[in-house]
Structure 1
Amino acid sequence: MSRAVLVERPGVHRLVEREVPVPGPGEVRVRVAAAGICMSDRELYEGRRAPGYVRYPVVPGHEWSGTVDAVGTGTDPALLGRACVAEGFRSCGRCERCRYGETSLCTAGYAETGFTEPGAFADHLLVPARLVHPLPDGVDLRAAALLEPAAVVAAAVRAGRPRPGERIAVVGAGTLGLLAVQWLKASSPAELAVVDPRADRAAQALAFGADRALAPTDADGATGAFDLVVETAGAPTTAASSCLLARRGGRVVLTGMFSAGATGIDPVHLSVSQLEIHSVFGASSAAWADAVRAFSLGLLDPGPLVTHEFPLDRFDEALALVGGGDPGTGKVLLRP
């Protein structure tokens, strides 16, 4: 039998047992090693995710790692036994956006593991083999569960194009922000600053390679100081404040998922400063490949971000920690 956390509707879940799923043509079955819980999973559980981006009942879990333990017909048998992760977006591969490599913007309709398709809060997971990214032998699967947010950071780095000797700021020191610090440090910046109000997160950012940490109030003195600003917080004011940190002609990349009512970007400042602004929605196949490569080479080490691990039958305890405000809570994992 195979267990899974099934969210039947907002606020209602149960641990179910079912037959071990059988991969169909072009699919693989993964034995899940670890699955991360993020704020979007809590939004799903509480019914705060936009209706077009969730389908109940659903097994959540879009950040995960595991090992292929069965393959369907027409699938490369060499994948059997391989440690892996896989892209979450079930892109069609045929539309114009997919053909351009922008697979996270697929126009065939939104479908994503853990939101509209069964996810990894389970013993086993079925995914299309074409979305699988194999990992090196002996890899730390606990750390590899964070490759989904790492792929989002990879997309941000692709958009931001950091160059050696630039001054760079990262706004937010959550999972995305700390992974961005690790990645951007490898670009040899003249300065790498992090903006976050939480002293414990600021300290962790310094340990991850940041040169200095600023509280949002201190950041007022850094207006116009940075060549590149990578926003990761998704807080109501951080899109606008990130633009103020960029120099004239600078670049801003927004990765946070903002809610309705967030402070808008001043169009006068935008035009007068000639800012280049990019936003990131998920990660393309190319960004996933970048993240897996960086992880495999040791440029990214997400392991220190993990602070809590729970079995599937303690899902409610694990979920309560995410966004609960405890400064000692970093990434929370389910370990089937």
Structure 2
Amino acid sequence: MKALQYRTVGAEPEVVEIDTPEPGPGQVRLKITAAGVCHSDDFVMNMPAEGFPYPLPLTLGHEGAGTVDAVGDGVDEIAVGTNVVVYGPWGCGQCLQCAQGLENYCPRAAELGIFPPGLGAPGAIAEYMIVDSPRHLVPIGDLDPVATVPLTDAGLTPYHAITLSLPKLVAGSTAAVIGAGGLGHVAIELLRHLTPARVIALDVTEEKLEFARSVGAHEAVLSDADAVDAVRKITGSRGVQAVFDFVGYQPTIDTAMGIVGTAGDVMIVGLGDGQATAKIGFFAQPFEVAARAPYWGSRSELIELIDLAHEGVLDIAVETFSLDEAPEAYRRLGANTLTGRAVIVP
């Protein structure tokens, strides 16, 4: 079968021919119908060779949708032919967090050598993939897999972050979204559907700001040296009640801390360069501000998102590429020229 693999540290991913995998006991094989491309992959592929965390070659893709093609011994929870998406942050399945569906916060996954697909385990940018357990599959019925597959990360990650701040996003409140890309534009749509908050989007080009307005942002502000003053002119002294930073570089985190109001939340979602931090101290920000770094989301939240998709309340912008065109999708991702989410269709 064909697969997109990261084979050499520092090199571009390559489309290669590899053996079609067979499901072992308890496993499920999917015939992939769509797979998403994410900045997390770009972050991984820019890691230095020293201490690179995953064995190579690595089949990329942690956003996956497919049709159940074969099952291993002992699997009777899901039928061949079922259309599904893959819940990506796999955990041990036994600890307290996993018992709550919070496998994204499993404390034992690393020590047990359990990795998400595409981020350690073979991923979804291939013709077939193996899923370790049927509990990591969510049926999608008649939903379009291309439009739905971004929900597994580009939807789930902002949904999880937003739910943490819902008590503060009441009538008269303001939410700010920094970065209106693959995750950020979904966050804007979710904020408009789930809350009465006024939504301010920040990004670096007028084109991105116009895109943010088109998906529901009430206000759009250039993310530059004047961004804090520009947002403060909109919110006044109250500031922003919840800031969602989908970029994660030091300048955007500093902007987030500069616009958040008293008792507000700063959610640092974007990976940035992996080095940026929020400056917290008694005089560093308004009183009772909470800065958090949420990661992905729970299995139950993915099920909730699929329910929202069936209701037709989400319209995720996607650009599609064939499997042979997958390297170009990653070039576009690195150059920041994608609108919304890139989806590979084998």
- Listed one character per residue, the Cα deviations across residues 247-303 of structure 1 (whole Å, up to 9, x for unaligned) are 11122222111424425424234565211232211222233223222222222221x
Which deviates the most, 122-131 or 18-27?
A: 18-27
Counterpart of 2:341 (choices 320, 331, 335) is 331
Q: Retained in 2: the 8 A contact 1:152–1:287?
A: no
Aligned to 1:247: 261
Q: 1:52 to 1:325 in 2, by over 3 A?
A: closer
SS at match of 1:70: strand
Q: 1:94 to 1:182 in 2, by over 3 A?
A: same
Query: Quick check: 1:38 aligned with 2:38?
Result: yes
CA distance in 1, matches of 2:227, 2:262: 20
Q: Retained in 2: the 8 A contact 1:7–1:59?
A: yes
Aligned to 1:280: 294
Counterpart of 1:160 (choices 165, 178, 191) is 165
**1:75: Cα distance to partner?**
1.7
- In the alignment of these two chains, the number of paired residues is 330
Aligned to 2:207: 200
CA distance in 2, matches of 1:49, 1:208: 39
- Listed one character per residue, the Cα deviations across residues 297-327 of structure 1 (whole Å, up to 9, x for unaligned) are 222221xx213x322223322221112143x
Q: Retained in 2: the 8 A contact 1:8–1:58?
A: yes
Aligned to 2:5: 6
- Listed one character per residue, the Cα deviations across residues 85-136 of structure 1 (whole Å, up to 9, x for unaligned) are 1111220011243245431121223311002100011000110211101102
Counterpart of 1:228 (choices 231, 239, 242) is 242
SS at match of 1:16: strand
**1:48: Cα distance to partner?**
4.7
Aligned to 2:235: none
Q: 1:67 to 1:100 in 2, by over 3 A?
A: closer
Q: Retained in 2: the 8 A contact 1:151–1:290?
A: no
Aligned to 1:88: 88
- Listed one character per residue, the Cα deviations across residues 55-95 of structure 1 (whole Å, up to 9, x for unaligned) are 31210111121211222222236432121111112200112
CA distance in 1, matches of 2:265, 2:318: 31
Q: Retained in 1: the 8 A contact 2:55–2:120?
A: yes
Which deviates the most, 140-149 or 38-47?
A: 38-47
**1:173: Cα distance to partner?**
0.7
Query: Quick check: 1:135 aligned with 2:134?
Result: no
Q: 1:92 to 1:50 in 2, by over 3 A?
A: farther
Q: Retained in 1: the 8 A contact 2:4–2:59?
A: yes
Q: 1:50 to 1:299 in 2, by over 3 A?
A: farther
CA distance in 1, matches of 2:97, 2:264: 27
Query: Quick check: 1:180 aligned with 2:187?
Result: yes
Counterpart of 2:331 (choices 311, 317, 320) is 320
Query: Quick check: 1:108 aligned with 2:115?
Result: no
- Listed one character per residue, the Cα deviations across residues 165-196 of structure 1 (whole Å, up to 9, x for unaligned) are 12211111111110000000013424111111
Q: Retained in 1: the 8 A contact 2:140–2:306?
A: yes
1:207-218 correspondence to structure 2 within 5 Å = 207-216=214-223, 217-218=226-227
Which deviates the most, 197-206 or 288-297?
A: 288-297
The AA in structure 2 aligned to 1:80 is V
Q: Retained in 1: the 8 A contact 2:221–2:230?
A: no
CA distance in 2, matches of 1:292, 1:9: 36
**1:12: Cα distance to partner?**
5.8
Which deviates the most, 192-201 or 39-48?
A: 39-48
Q: 1:254 to 1:42 in 2, by over 3 A?
A: closer
Q: 1:135 to 1:126 in 2, by over 3 A?
A: same
CA distance in 2, matches of 1:102, 1:187: 21
Q: Retained in 2: the 8 A contact 1:174–1:233?
A: no
Which deviates the most, 239-248 or 122-131?
A: 239-248
Identity of aligned residues (%): 28
SS at match of 2:204: coil
Q: Retained in 1: the 8 A contact 2:90–2:109?
A: no
Q: 1:43 to 1:188 in 2, by over 3 A?
A: closer
- Listed one character per residue, the Cα deviations across residues 23-45 of structure 1 (whole Å, up to 9, x for unaligned) are 22222111111212222222333
SS at match of 1:273: coil
Aligned-residue Cα RMSD (Å) equals 2.3
Q: Retained in 2: the 8 A contact 1:240–1:266?
A: no
Aligned to 1:238: 252
CA distance in 1, matches of 2:50, 2:343: 24
**1:13: Cα distance to partner?**
4.5
Q: Retained in 2: the 8 A contact 1:61–1:120?
A: yes
Aligned to 2:303: 289
CA distance in 1, matches of 2:43, 2:127: 23
Which deviates the most, 189-198 or 142-151?
A: 189-198
The AA in structure 2 aligned to 1:312 is L
